[in-house]
Amino acid sequence: MVGLFGYFWWGSRSLAPTPDARPTVELPQRGGVLAASLRSEPRSFNRLVSRDYATQLFALLTQARLVRVNMATYELESWLAESWTSSPDGLVHTLTLRDGLSWSDGVPFSSADVAFTFAAVFDPRVKSVLASSLQVDGDPLAVATPDARTVVVTFPHPFGPGIRLLDNLTILPKHKLEAALTGGTMADAWGTTTAPAEIVGMGPFVLSQYEPGQRLTFARNPHYWRKDDRGIGLPYLDGLVLRIVPDQNAELLGLQSADLDLTQQQLRPDDYGTAREMERAGRLRMAEVGVSLDPDVFFFNLRPAMWAKDPRRAWLFTDTFRKALNHAVDREAYANTVFLGAAVPVHGPVSPGNKAWFWPDLPRYAFDREKSAALLAELGLANRDADAFLEDAAGNEARFTLIHYKGNTAIERGAQVLKESFERVGVAMDLAPLEPGTLIERMLAGTFEAIFFNYVATDPDPAMQRDFWLSSGSAHIWNISQKTPATEWEREMDALVNRQAANVDPAERVRLFRDVQRVFSEHLPAMYFAAPRLFVAVGPRVRNETPGVTRPQLLWSADTLALAAGAAPTSR
């Protein structure tokens, strides 16, 4: 990719217009408003009850955590907690909160807010999507607050990543939400119709206006606690506008017309050529930030109740059927077609971009249509009529429906490539594009046959993604939040995941996670085909950006974004 695009920057380095015309370092200044795109509406303003991307981004901009994982370096950083100590056995962690912090409405922040947030997460009436990610071996963390600045978090069992786990926890204000928790309405609190003034936080911005279908407008949090090395209070920006732009074509037009300074995430491969021309003209800056940690994922609904009365259950619900589909896909061709070559083939959920945990020897299903056909024949599927598709002995066609994101060109093109790949071995797949919010609702309700979408992990450490790996997890996408494992292989995977998370020996954690990936590969509850190389672009007004590999590549560090010197500091 260096040869094609000329140069790239890795990690947290700033973007540069050309290799021989890099700008001189510009000290960031305060002032101005930047505009970024957001491709879907938030389902809630309450991170405890919603995991959609727009809600996560809203929480990132308006709320804060005790500790933070830096998304450019993946190092753990102090945040609301300025320091911590851990017991020799790794079970008890004592955190000291920063002194003198206030919520965005001026009310003092204290350890009582932390205790309240933990109580809300684990209250069964709330049904928080964060609950499973704040447990170890199925048991919740315990919290004590001996004084206003001290929080003692006790783990029920040893946990390899330690307090890195607390990066999952968005701290919420007790004084605003205690009545909702006490009254049993916390699950409905801070819905999208809530007045912005009622939503307070510890993040760099506060919501000032939400216009559904159009934009979210944020202003600087006047009580934000961070300062830069010069003692200047952050954020640098006066405000930020997230324009709701569901279509990626419109995102690029927004960059071209300067209506947008940033896009929600990386550029599409289709846009590289246009973006490079704009860069040469000085209208944006572009950089490669690495291989995505989150390849698009294809999975069937593996909830037994979904298929209980469906005659296709005998074959569609099987590992063999999923293996046949895997053999039907030429991943090299997929990467070239869907991502125009700017991708690497993958065979599992851990991409080469995740250098610490990627396993190059993961068992794979090579492109082999003859093998695919043989596996389908084992299931009793054969062409019993004049059309191109297989049927079972009862005449049920080998056909299912895939729902996928509407407006995401990589997903749409990938779905079409998969459809054509499956058709060549006699399996029909009907495509049903949906808006992201609707797709998530269908997934959570279990009213789908198959889904193709992008699942974003918040941390490369698998122990921090247990809500995906564990059968009880709220992000175990093929069969969410099981009371007991539905299959023996999921039971085995649960045990391995929990052993891996509890181990403090790095080498043993790697070995155990390879066993997790082996079980996953043997049963293929989700399928992966390519991980894109990620390129981001910013408009010419943007300065001091710190791009990371995972979404949001730029807004994860929104408090350090700034306007170029001399740029008009006006609202967009």
Q: What is the 3-state secondary structure (H, E, C) of 355-415?
A: CCCCCCCCCCCCCCHHHHHHHHHHCCCECCCCCCCCECCCCCECEEEEEEECCCHHHHHHH
Other C-beta atoms within 10 Å of 257: how many? 9
Gap between the Cα atoms of 160 and 130, Å rounded:
19
CA distance 257 to 158: 53
| Topology of domain 2-42+203-284+539-563, CATH | D-Maltodextrin-Binding Protein; domain 2 (3.40.190)
The rounded distance, in Å, linking the Cα atoms of 269 and 337 is: 10
Phi/psi region, residue 254 (left: phi>0; alpha: psi -120 to 50; beta: rest), is alpha
Residue-wise pLDDT for 503-512, tens only, equals 888 899 999 9
Topology at the third CATH level for domain 64-188: Dipeptide-binding Protein; domain 1 (3.90.76)
**pLDDT tens-digit series, residues 344-357:** 999 999 999 998 89
- For residue range 109-155, list pLDDT tens digits in order: 999 999 999 999 999 999 999 998 898 878 999 999 999 999 999 99
Task: Find the largest Cα–Cα distance for the chain.
Answer: 76
Instruction: Determine the pLDDT at residue 484.
Output: 96
SS3 state of residue 423: helix
Residue 29 DSSP label: B
Output the pLDDT for position 536. 93
Radius of gyration of the chain (CA): 24
Contact 74, 546 (CB under 8 A): no
- The gap between the terminal CA atoms of the chain, to the nearest Å, is 34
Q: What is the DSSP letter of 298?
A: E
Number of CB atoms found within 10 A of residue 394's CB? 9
Secondary structure element (H or E) that encloses residue 507, with its range: helix 506-523
- Series of mean pLDDT values for 10-residue runs along the chain (572 residues): 24 38 70 95 96 94 97 92 95 97 98 98 96 87 98 94 94 98 97 97 98 97 96 97 91 91 87 90 90 93 93 96 98 95 94 93 96 98 93 96 92 97 98 93 95 84 90 93 96 95 91 97 97 93 92 94 75 48
Closest CA to 369 of 316, 407, 330, 315: 330
- Joined together, the tokens standing for residue 320 give 């063999």
Say which residues have a Cβ less than 8 Å from residue 191's Cβ, sequence separation at least 6.
44, 45, 46
297-531 CATH: 3.10.105.10
Q: Where are the domains of the chain?
A: 2-42+203-284+539-563, 64-188, 297-531
Query: What is the structure's pLDDT at 24?
Result: 55
